[in-house]
Amino acid sequence: MAMSGTGATIAELAEAYRQGGRADAVKAQLVRIADPAGEGARTFFSTFDEQAVAQAQAYDRASAPAPLAGITVSIKDLFDIAGQATAAGSTFLRKAPPAKQDAPVVQRLRKAGLIPIGRTNMTEFAYSGLGINPHFGTPANPFDRAAKRIPGGSSSGAAVSVTDGMADVGLGTDTGGSCRIPAALCGLVGFKPTAHRVPRDGVLPLSTTLDSIGPIARSVACCATVDSILADDPTPVPDVPVTGLRLGVPSAYVFDDVDETTAKAFEAALSRLSKAGAKIATVDASALLDIPQINHKGGFSAREAYLYHRAWIAEHSAEYDPRVVSRIVKGEIQSDEDERILVRERQRLIAAVSHFDAYDALILPTTPLVAPTIAELADDAAYTRVNLLMLRNCTVTNMLDRCAISVPCHAPDTAPVGLMLMGAHNGDRRLFGVAQAVESALN
């Protein structure tokens, strides 16, 4: 029974696959990817047709395959896969030497029975929250597709691969929102773990300080299942009742320039949660107002990306996305002393918000805006302004070294809006329990 692409959750697919049908489901997804009328050509750089079908057929024949055998996963283009170049959405790295082995997280997914189905599109080198790639085209957001809205980034293809039934889950990275932003704008769930929990070896870095690896999927439970594999963390998700849940709404920073659609969806979500028994209170978040000043020279991403890219830029600057390379080279102005100040200021900020831990989670809009059209961002000034806004709320979590998840909170048939829950450092599995309670109340 071929279920993939029907909007089924991982648990529903796993149950269905007890009767077989994995190979048929994988073939159906590959047909969807190849459909010239769809977004497949802009969502995937390459697909693993023969290997994916062969693996699914082997699982169908096996007497006792792994419980998740046959679930497909799309792989963002900055993860190493043995025998392939890791190009990270760029053109010039497609000629780079192939990876000698899979990244550890890809190895873990394969061991659990998941089947990589292809490499997905992304903002070049993951350096934007919008998902636009001028080299290969940008997959259109599933909402109001005729208008060609942005999918969000940088894990753009990861999100669209799931919305369009081309993969059951997307593997992404999150340095300042790159799992949560596309999930929010596309109506999915996106998770950013506490960074150190998931190994980042074999993943082309943006910021070694802020990078983290997470899933984009259809439900909180789907993300929790995949996170358990990625982090090699069998801790069960606790059953957390919504009644008595303590949710803190930040007093400052995260509501500036929020558009009307997002504000209404967020307020409606707060109302539903309150009626369901959650205790919602305003929490002092004035310390967050320091973040722009702390990052005024580009922050960790600019500094660390520049140090990583400077040799490539010297040789290939004309081949970069101009909007990406212009941001990377800003890191050149940061000195070693600037970096020491950054580290110190980050620790000061983390200490200044320790009172956040009195709440089960902080609750805020994932992004201040719903997805604009790609055409609206053709102007560099508009691109820069919207990119900074899209990243702003999500970046808070990365700066504070916490975990966070985005869940949909919009009404059916309206522009997708994400509600973000931010948990404590190392509070990842507990946050999934909180998020499941919120997800249930909102649905």
Active site annotation includes 76: yes
Q: 284 exposed, middle or buried (CB, 10 Å; 0-12, 13-18, 19+)?
A: middle
Query: Tokens for 68?
Result: 């998740």
Task: Using the structure block, give the residue that is written with the tokens 């957001």.
Answer: 141
Task: Single out the catalytic residue among 74, 76, 90, 406.
Answer: 76
Task: Using the structure block, give the residue that is written with the tokens 């909170």.
Answer: 409
Q: Tell me the torsion sign for CA atoms 411, 412, 416, 419.
A: positive
Active site annotation includes 297: no
Active site annotation includes 154: yes
Exposure string of 86-113, with b = 16+ CB inside 10 Å and e = fewer, is bbbbbeebeeeeebeebbbbbebbbebb
Q: How many residues does the chain have?
A: 443
What are the backbone dihedrals phi and psi of residue 319, each rounded to the nearest 5 degrees, phi first? -95, -5
Query: Tokens for 286?
Result: 């004035």
The DSSP bridge partners found for residue 405 are 191, 421
List, edge to edge, every strand of the sheet that includes 115-120: 44-47, 115-120, 72-76, 169-173, 213-217, 189-192, 404-408, 418-422, 361-365, 246-250, 279-283
Query: Tokens for 146?
Result: 């005729």
Listed in sequence order, the DSSP H helices in 115-247 are: 156-163, 180-186, 220-230
Q: Where are the beta strands (DSSP E) in 23-76?
A: 44-47, 72-76
Task: Single out the catalytic residue among 90, 154, 155, 207.
Answer: 154
Q: Where are the beta strands (DSSP E) in 32-94?
A: 44-47, 72-76
CB 130 within 8 A of CB 386: yes
Task: Single out the catalytic residue among 178, 219, 301, 406.
Answer: 178
CB atoms within 10 A of CB 266: 24
Task: Name the residue among 179, 217, 184 with its Cα closest to residue 198.
Answer: 179
What are the backbone dihedrals phi and psi of residue 250, each rounded to the nearest 5 degrees, phi first? -60, 140
Active site residues: 76, 154, 178
